[in-house]
Amino acid sequence: MAYTVTFWGARGSIPTPGAHTARYGGNTSCVAVEADGRLVILDAGTGIRGLGLTLVGQNGSVQAEILLSHTHWDHIQGLPHFKPFFAPGNAVRIWGSKQGSKSLDEILHLQMDPAVFPIPLTAVSAALTVKEVRPGGEFTVGPFRAQSMQLRHPGTTLAYRLVPVAGGRSMAYVTDNELGPGGSYDTPPSWRRELVQFLSGVDLLIHDAMYTPAELDSHRGWGHSSYEEAVELAADAGAKRLVLFHHEPEHDDAALDGLLAAAQRSAKRRGAPVEVIAAQEGMQLSL
């Protein structure tokens, strides 16, 4: 089965609109995966607003499956502005982990509490379903078999690997993940080996590459990786293509050009056959 992967938001932490970020884009995490008219959305950062506008502009009802890596603001902030929510006949199913004792459903309602947002989640007219995913959980979503794995990031943060049920190329969405030492996370000592296995031979790996190696030194324990670590992981796992993702808000287009070139040199130095690119808003890949 062939499918497309479209980047609607590639930024981490906070939106960064403006002339200096116009090429890579300022919207936060949102990636649309489309196959045979079926849609799976990875994260609901501010990029999901534009995707929602496109969806309601098409004929017919919207059936959207949204997989959340976790519920930090930059991964859910676009949700209240996702237009398909506000038309009867549409159906939205949201998958993700609970956080501590708070259910995913509770967290999504809190985001639209009257204290911070004018319209409560109970007022949406689309059919809404919330499904909790446990780390290591497997489920079928749209035309894909999805596997999840816990990442090294504050809270419960999930990676997703998608494999077409009908056969075809695989992809993995791995963002907000600290590959290096630092931080205190609820993951076993064998975690990195398990992650390499989880990603083994994946055709497309989208991975957190927030920092340069120099910046990483002052951000240990923040739950993110450098491009160098992302390249190393892609090489170890035998990924065919690596997309650098979750761009640091202070990296403008020129800085990201430099970061990408350095990541490509790093892959070459390692003799890794992986193709390295950087996520840009509007970029579409075919698998």
Under the rule (CB under 5 A), what is the footprint of Zn ion? 12, 72, 74, 176
Output the smallest distance, CB 59 to Zn ion, in A.
34
* Closer CB to Zn ion, 12 or 80, in the complex: 12
The four Cα atoms 110, 113, 116, 121 give a dihedral, to 10 degrees, of 90
* Closer CB to Zn ion, 238 or 249, in the complex: 249
189 neighbors 228 (Cβ within 8 angstroms) = no
Residue 89: name the closest of 119, 56, 120, 57 by CA: 56
Task: State the residue for tokens 């004929």.
Answer: 59
* Closer CB to Zn ion, 212 or 225, in the complex: 225
* Closer CB to Zn ion, 133 or 274, in the complex: 133
* Closer CB to Zn ion, 241 or 246, in the complex: 246
Output the smallest distance, CB 30 to Zn ion, in A.
11
Output the smallest distance, CB 167 to Zn ion, in A.
32
Output the smallest distance, CB 176 to Zn ion, in A.
4
Does an H or E element contain 191, and which?
Answer: helix 191-198
Residue nearest to Zn ion (CB): 72
Output the smallest distance, CB 268 to Zn ion, in A.
29
Maximum Cα–Cα distance across the chain: 54
Phi, psi of 204 (to 5 degrees): -135, 120
Distance between start and end Cα atoms, the chain:
8
